[in-house]
Structure 1
Amino acid sequence: MVELSDAVLVGLLEAAPDSIIGVGTDGRIVLANVRTVELFGYQQSELVGRPIEILLPDRFRAMHSRHRQDYLADPRPRPMGAGATLAGRRKDGREFPAEISLSSIDTGQLQLVVAAVRDVTDRLRREAQFRDLLEAAPDAMVGVTTDGRITLINAATERLFGYGRDELLGQAIEILVPDAARADHPELRLRYFHDPRPRPMGAGGLLRARHKDGREFPAEISLSALQTEDGLIVSAAIRDVTDRIEAQAQRLRLEAEAQRLAAAAERERLEAQLHQARRLESLGQLAGGVAHDFNNILAVMLNYTTFVIEQAQAAAARDPQGDWPQAASDLHQVLRAGKRATELTHQLLAFSRREVIRPRVLDLNAVIGEVEQLLRRTLGEHIQLHVEHESPLCPVLADPGQIEQVLMNLAVNARDAMPDGGTLTVHTGNHEIAETCAATTGPPPGRYARVRIADTGTGIPDEVLAHVFEPFFTTKAAGEGTGLGLATVFGIVTQAGGFVTIDSVPGAGTAFTLLFPETDEPPAAPGPKSQQVRHHGQGTILVVEDEDALRAVTQRILTRNGYRVLTAATGPEALKVAEDSEDDIDLLLTDVIMPYMHGQQLAEQMVAARPGIRVVYMSGYAEPFVTGEHALHPDAALISKPFLEADLLTCISGVLT
């Protein structure tokens, strides 16, 4: 057997996706990996040497010592999920459900109990949602194992067949089948398990089912296979069609078959939309990742190009008849190309929704112009895009990335509503609501910037129109759509203080009207032009950036402008550098997304250790910090990558003054 070095073992421990905790026979923690720190909220130094009961809710602590002794007496491995779900306790007192696996390791010096702990909050939530959906289903839902035993039912099954839940669970599925069909049923079941493809409702024609009192009734059934922890089961959705059969003659039966075929075609269309949505999501993830890395590369390229331009211009001034003037001109072309690449990454990040959200005074015409080409590519050649501006448009306060997301969502919806082609029109204008015209539930009186997005698609039926903005509402089959697209549009517009209305005529098209209130805030002052202005800074700056080349060029920019610079590649390394430094550190310049510790965590610890330090964040994209409890503070100083020397120096100078 290959013996692993300590370094390899530590690497494996830190790479584990679960919390790994080593406990001695005295019940004290000997080791804990990074995932343990993330899961429980303690630092490793706060855990090692402490009783394992620190990670348990108070009500479980008294009995835990006895359980540990029981395991040490019989130290067989306990795989994940073999026992009941337990509970863990974070440093802040919050509890969470957890699964745990145990194993015993004798190192020769001491015996360790190694526990792998997994937070199963999301899984239990999904299981609860599945149970809720199962019980709310209008059709009888029956789960059957490979040996033909009933393993799950819902309330509709009890109502349909007249049996209680306890009377069905564990019974053979043939209890629900008429006597005449029972002999053939095991063979049909085995045939399906041999080829467990989904069988949609009605694909097998009408079947016969048997009620508890012996009555038989016609039924439709859909089948699908589910892989569970206990093995493969068949999920059958059963629907009583007695009333329909009794009400229809042969002609109506033929119509029902035609409707079934039409429904199958509609399901195929919806599945195609789902696949397209997944492709777009994958493209967004890829675009965000590429743009993040590309922004780092661009920052290095642009700044080193700027350095070389300075040298070329100086040489050209000394020798205007030589080759240096042309070289300087060529380098300016490289710099302009880099700036165009920067604009491209901005569009990619806006599309993939991975920009830090920061509302500012906007001209919506300019925002639409920036995303227009991306909209055209998304719509495809079979759809014509017409953009009509009213100028000047009153200014609004919103996040441009969010506005671009709204436009993209509505464009994708319009495209799906025009599978055979059509026209999408984006029209902007100013809109005034007078005091006498204001509705009690609508926009208040005032001046608004209006954006109207209209398509010539299939339109939306009235019964659906009232629910389109509801979260999780979708006309797609269960599990095939999130129902969050238009809810997100509504949320973004409302968050910006705006209003959204929808008008639709089935067969003619749909129009969304967005109203954003005029803002009184003055537009942000334009930043300084990218000229070679020499800044002479004073003070010490700690630069934290995990990209070596970008860290180096940032250090060079600051050093050559008079700052004393300390550098670190990670958050923990930065804390160590600050701890070892006897000088004051005036400013922390840190990337947002880094391994081991993100920039906001680093800033919080650094400010706690050095209360007078200022903080500036750098970001190529910061998806985990766009919304929610980890969002960057609106007043936080942030410089977006790629940045030029003048941009960085202006930002730092503004924070330090």
Structure 2
Amino acid sequence: MMDLNDIFKNNISVYSLIESMSEGVIFITKQGTIIQVNKRSNELFGYTDKELIGLSVESLIPNRFKNKHKSHLTNYFSSPKARPMGHSYSPLSGLKKDGSVFPLEISLSFINTSNEVIGVAFITDISARTKAENELKKRNLELDAYAHTIAHELHSQLNSIIGFSQLLLNDDELSDEKRRSFLEMIEGSGYKMNNIISEMLLFANLKKEEIKKTELPMKAIIDEAINRISLTETNIASISIATNFEPSVGYGPWIEEVWYNYIRNAIKYGGNPPKIEIGSSKGENGYNKFWVKDNGLGLSSDQCNLIFVDPHKLGTGFVKGHGLGLSIVKRIVKKLDGQVRVESTPNQGSIFSFYLPTSISD
């Protein structure tokens, strides 16, 4: 086997440079045998010094890529040149000694020696970048869904305002009672639009570092949330609120928004008339559960799985009522180190809940 130290012994500065690189550098023969690596390569793949020497480069490739790699290796050495491997829609992966896989980028080059051509692979671990890109994609999907829901909600309320305004302007024979009724509907739509805009601003400014968690006066927060809901909605519902709530910590204005959305959804999708129960129960692992129970038609298991993730897939009826509110609820509770959940059975109502920590974590 050829020892690359012979190549570098008269050029120590080059060898030292390769050893100090932040990229992994692996030297291989055209048969794919590893003949030298730098320190970073050992770190990337979880091997100790000299362990990689003599192994096939396929030892560092996940099984699903090994067959393709053989042909790639042959093709490369038939016409070696400096070039990158892989592309954005076909990412590369490396296999560590412990069997775990990580995303990487590889640039290839070569060295002509008196005996043979040596392939050189420069390897970069892109785990952090891949994670950031995936989070960005997820965030963009969330924002797309959120924007769609916002547009739907605002469009609905604007149509109501425009429609009733046209009736008032064009029908001179409307009774005072009808005029007042239409004006009240316009006013109601205006309030709803104002709430939507407030929720947009809240959604846009959810930054964990900007808030200070405190113990929550939950009963008072629920009362404030209900006061924000129009009397037209609350008067048709029977709302039962527990006297005491389990202690928890969070940020009051955000939790009020959670209750506001949960309770409004319960009124809208409750039975006829809506019967709503609001309470809490002790949880596990330092969390307590807070919930809103309704007597509505309920949800299937598939709908339960989708409603916080992608409410648009539930159909237009659910998008209109749930999409905006539950997007906000999920984001708020996640920012407060909690989680959301829905339990439901068709024709037996639903329980929308959220879990909050019982104390402030260090």
Tell me the TM-score normalized by structure 2.
0.40
Query: Which structure carries more helix by proportion?
Result: 2
